[in-house]
């Protein structure tokens, strides 16, 4: 259940970032969703492992880590792609 929540959090973060900043020169939504899913999974699983919990454990720390890592990855790729075109 935890991994699914982390993936959903990553996808939602990607969708929100795309909704706020999209247009010519920015990555497309599927690209951001892939990075959001990866960031959510990595952040949540890393937080669980650092706490000594099972991989599928869901708590506030893991969820927060999933959202933050997904946000950093999605915004980072968006800035990098947009900057590369200018």
43-73, pLDDT tens digit by residue?
999 999 999 999 889 999 999 999 999 999 9
Q: How many domains does the chain divide into?
A: 1
CA distance 53 to 65: 14
The position carrying tokens 């927060």 is 64
pTM: predicted TM-score of the whole model, two decimal places: 0.90
Res 82: pLDDT? 76
- Give the dihedral of Cα atoms 51, 55, 61, 64; nearest 10 deg: 140
Res 86: pLDDT? 58
Res 16: pLDDT? 95
For the chain, percent of residues with pLDDT exceeding 70 = 97
Res 63: pLDDT? 95
Res 70: pLDDT? 97
- 11: tokens are 């996808």
Q: How far is CA 6 from the centre of its chain?
A: 8
Which structural domain range is residue 74 located in?
2-85
């Amino acid at each position: 259940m935890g991994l699914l929540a982390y993936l959903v959090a990553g996808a939602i973060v990607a969708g929100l970032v795309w909704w706020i900043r999209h247009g010519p020169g920015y990555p497309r939504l599927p690209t951001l969703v892939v990075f959001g899913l990866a960031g959510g999974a990595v952040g949540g699983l890393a937080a669980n492992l650092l706490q000594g919990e099972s991989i599928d454990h869901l708590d506030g720390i893991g969820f927060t880590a999933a959202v933050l890592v997904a946000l950093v990855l999605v915004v980072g790729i968006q800035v990098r792609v947009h900057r590369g075109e200018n």
